[in-house]
Amino acid sequence: MSSPSTPGGEARLALTAGIACYLIWGFVPLAMQAIGALGVGAAEILVHRIVWSVPTALVFVLAARQGRQVLDVLRRPKVLGWLALSSVLIAINWIVFIWAVNSGRLLETSLGYYINPLVNMAAGALLFRERIDRIGKAAMALAAVGVVVQAVALGHLPWVSLALALSFGGYGVVRKQVAADAQTGLFVECLLLGLPSLAFIAWLQAQGTGHFADSTATVAWLIAAGPITAIPLVLFAWAARRMPLSAMGFLQFMAPTISFMIGLMQGEPFTPLRALSFGFIWGGAAVFCYGAWRRTRSVAMAEKVIAEAPAQG
């Protein structure tokens, strides 16, 4: 049996971490809905989610022995500026998501996370001059048609889906500029958002409109929102550095698929036109996965040829 220190053992751990991450993200809507059912509004859920993420993120920083890195980041205004921007983007993503899942729009959140990888591909081409091959263009075209059909089905732009995809895509682009490990970046983001969030919670409680002390269940759920937020982010960052792109490409569609099924089971409207729009989106996702697998396979074959070249000489 391989130990975690061997290549095989680490690969299995990375796969386990990746699956766990996307499973948590897939079922997060149920947690947000449970909190909403207790009478807590989206803004209040958001600020508690942020505040209770701070101690969880701190545990990961300490476990990774990155205390010095945190202090270094806090002394660098440019890095702090990038993290301030990324924290705003992730807060926008969270508030839209929380509001949507508590407003019967779970299918729209699912669509947003299906198109997110394709938004990332477009951002890479526009901002970092990354080349998009024919497979990538086909995937983006299918997704674009799916969004248009979804707009026709809804009678308006699927702004929830687009806001989620663009905010999380933007978050990824900004974090690409930050010279800090995932645990450090997440902790500093939580700190930057945590102070105003804590002030807002105090104001709500002073006004008598806060729900934190309503019941034991409310307290437990609001505190749990922190670990539910921070743990999958850290698992994702750890797995992404140790897994092939093609494997992550397949895994990342687990979460929106779970959310999609939950939305269907909760009775959200799913007309034939909406089904058609998801058909195009799923087609784009499948093409994206094929492209990621093909690129990884080409790299593996090239590495094999290079490794065998001296023996042949």
Query: pLDDT tens, 264-273?
Result: 999 999 999 9
Determine the average pLDDT of the residues in 137-148: 87
Express each pLDDT in 60-113 by its tens digit. Answer: 999 989 999 999 999 999 999 999 999 999 999 999 999 999 999 999 999 999
Nearest 5°: the CA angle 244, 249, 254 is: 125
Is pLDDT at 305 greater than 90 in this prediction? no
Domain that holds residue 45: 10-312
Determine the average pLDDT of the residues in 52-64: 93
Is pLDDT at 175 greater than 90 in this prediction? no
Determine the average pLDDT of the residues in 153-159: 88
Is pLDDT at 143 greater than 70 in this prediction? yes
Burial class (CB in 10 A: 0-12, 13-18, 19+), 141: middle
pLDDT of amino acid 110: 93
Is pLDDT at 31 greater than 50 in this prediction? yes
Other CB atoms within 10 A of residue 303 CB: 10
Cβ atoms of 262 and 135 within 8 Å: the answer is no
Cβ atoms of 50 and 279 within 8 Å: the answer is no
Residue 182 domain flag: yes
Distance CA 154, CA 148 (A): 10
Give the residue carrying structure tokens 């990961």: 60
Determine the average pLDDT of the residues in 204-226: 93
Average pLDDT, rounded, for the chain: 86
pLDDT of amino acid 234: 83
pLDDT of amino acid 2: 46
Distance CA 273, CA 277 (A): 6
Residue 2 domain flag: no
Helices assigned H by DSSP within 38-74: 42-51, 53-63, 67-74
Residue 163 domain flag: yes
Residue 252 domain flag: yes
Question: How far is residue 17 from each of residues 3, 118, 124, measured CA to CA in Å?
Answer: 16, 23, 26
As given in the structure block, the two tokens for residue 246 are 């093609």
Is pLDDT at 52 greater than 80 in this prediction? yes
Residue 3 domain flag: no
- 194-205 burial, b at 16+ Cβ within 10 Å, e below that, comes to beebeebbeebe
Helices assigned H by DSSP within 102-215: 106-128, 134-154, 159-175, 182-207
Query: What's the structural domain count of the chain?
Result: 1
Distance CA 161, CA 150 (A): 10
Residue 5 domain flag: no
Confidence of residue 302 (pLDDT cuts 50, 70, 90): low
Q: Which of 158, 57, 64 is nearest to 113 (CA)?
A: 158
Residue 6 DSSP class: S
Cβ atoms of 284 and 139 within 8 Å: the answer is yes
